[in-house]
Structure 1
Amino acid sequence: MGEAAYKRILLKMSGEVLEGTQGFGIDPSVVKRLAKEIVDVHKLGVEIGIVIGGGNIFRGVSGSKQGLDRVTGDYMGMLATLINCLSLQDAIEKEGVPTRVMSAIEVKEVAEPFIKRRAVRHLEKGRIVIFGAGTGNPFFTTDTAAALRAIEINAQVLLKATKVDGVYTADPVKVKGAELLKEVDYMTVLKHGLKVMDSTAISLSMDNSLDIIVFNIKKEGNLLRVVKGEKIGTKVIKGGGND
């Protein structure tokens, strides 16, 4: 299978990835495929942390636009992420790899509380760790949670799994001729509002020199290719990118 370019990674997936073509909820066939790809990476000896969004079930921001209290909506979104976490945990464990869900809010019947030392110990023992409920605080996205957890567990890279091939100079759907960037720096992302992750997540990554790779998870085998160091998608780094 080749060698991995990283020893420890943090994989960030949006909740929408799990919905497949049905447009809402969880598509079991998609979750099964993702689980197999994650396990293929695990077989290379890579320690894997995962953060999943909850947008396929509920988004706090969308709820607030319809009159729901923003804080209430964000907590509802955190619970939605836990549903996704449990679904992926089940699928990965059916592939034979022990997996732990760690939550930023207390739900002890279904998940462990997030404790950094315990999370790192799970990774060292070969368990996959899925971090749920975002940061546990309203007004922070799961992108920010992914950057935070990556830094806390000392991940070498944050892999942002999306439905597009990487970061473009503009929205390729709206702007004809928009170019895919192979490499870009944090400040360019912030300055031009490029859609990588939210500004808080980018700033946190920049301040801690955490590299980000944005790639298309819908293309089968891409996750393994990225972990092996193949140059696909867009790499967000500190300095020297495109302006």
Structure 2
Amino acid sequence: MKYKRILLKLSGEALMGNQQYGIDPIRINEYAKQIKEIHESGVEVAIVIGGGNIYRGVQAEASGIDRVQGDYMGMLATVINAMAIQSTLENHGLYTRLMSGIKMEAVCEPFIRRRAVRHLEKGRIVIFGAGIGNPYFTTDSTASLRAIEIEADVVLKGTRVDGVYTADPEKDSTATKIPNLSFEEAIRGGYSVMDTTAFTLCQENNVPIIVFDMNTSGNLLDIVKGKENVGTLIS
């Protein structure tokens, strides 16, 4: 395998499948099968998941809720998703640990870097919930930060499209895929696939990002094997 330890970033919206909100059991089981496939190939897997299928902090101000309060609500939404994916992975026979940026001992461990690394070394899949535990930071930034902390080889950003495009391919039929980007190009071009903080953290710590289509079975395995032209490499 090209990558020994990965950080897989999934959006909350990805769990919706074809639904308008919530968690699609078919989709989450498909993801679990792909994760199990790479884990059984010897790859150490950590996961960060968003909460957009339940609540997004940026919605807060529009609904009259304080932004900080809204961000904490969004963090709790990520814990719900993290618990769902933990349960699904365990149903597939995998050992997991859920760690949270906010203390809630009844459902998950607090995030401690050395403990997270030890879980990975023991073959457990580690799921990080509640972001970094502070408002104004996205789950993309959380993914970059946690990847650096656990010394992951790469951040894999699973989306509904097979990479970064010149425009939104779901809205613009003339959009073309970009196979490779530098961090400077990604930041300067304003590509919305991840936020600037996430790009900058990975750039400063030499952690590449691969944006790929998680909904196509086999893509995740191909990437960790080192197959080229799957998704967009940002490095």
TM-score range, shorter chain: over 0.9
Q: Which residue of 1 aligns with 2:11?
A: 14
Q: What SS does the corresponding residue of 1:5 show, helix, strand or coil?
A: coil
* Cα distance in 1, alignment partners of residues 64 and 8 from structure 2: 33
Query: 82, 86, 89: which is aligned to 1:92?
Result: 89
- Is residue 186 from structure 1 mapped to residue 183 from structure 2 by the alignment? yes
Q: What SS does the corresponding residue of 1:78 show, helix, strand or coil?
A: helix
* Cα distance in 1, alignment partners of residues 102 and 194 from structure 2: 23
Q: Which residue of 2 aligns with 1:203?
A: 200
Query: 37, 40, 61: which is aligned to 1:40?
Result: 37
Q: Deviations over 1:48-75 (max 9, x none)?
A: 0000000000001012222110001000
Q: Which residue of 1 aligns with 2:130?
A: 133
Query: 221, 232, 235: which is aligned to 1:234?
Result: 232
Q: Is the 8 A contact 1:19 1:26 kept in 2?
A: yes
Q: Is the 8 A contact 1:10 1:48 kept in 2?
A: yes
Q: Deviations over 1:125-176 (max 9, x none)?
A: 0000000000100000000000000000000000000011100122234444
Query: 33, 47, 51: which is aligned to 1:50?
Result: 47
- Is residue 82 from structure 1 mapped to residue 52 from structure 2 by the alignment? no
* Cα distance in 2, alignment partners of residues 174 and 16 from structure 1: 17
Question: So what's the TM-score if we normalise by structure 2?
Answer: 0.97
Q: Which residue of 2 aligns with 1:152?
A: 149
Where does the alignment leave 5 or more consecutive residues of structure 2 unmatched? Answer: none
Q: Deviations over 1:190-243 (max 9, x none)?
A: 111012200110111111111000000111121111111112000001xxxxxx
Where does the alignment leave 5 or more consecutive residues of structure 1 unmatched? Answer: 238-243
Question: So what's the TM-score if we normalise by structure 1?
Answer: 0.94
* Cα distance in 1, alignment partners of residues 63 and 9 from structure 2: 27
Q: What SS does the corresponding residue of 2:42 show, helix, strand or coil?
A: coil
Q: What SS does the corresponding residue of 2:60 show, helix, strand or coil?
A: helix
* Cα distance in 1, alignment partners of residues 109 and 171 from structure 2: 43
Q: Percent identity?
A: 56
Q: Which residue of 1 aligns with 2:169?
A: 172
Please tell me the residue identity of whatever aligns with 1:185.
S
Q: Which residue of 2 aligns with 1:240?
A: none
Q: How does 1:98-137 map to 2 (within 5 A)?
A: 98-137=95-134
* Cα distance in 1, alignment partners of residues 149 and 62 from structure 2: 32
* Cα distance in 1, alignment partners of residues 216 and 158 from structure 2: 10
Q: Is the 8 A contact 1:189 1:196 kept in 2?
A: no
Alignment length (residue pairs): 234
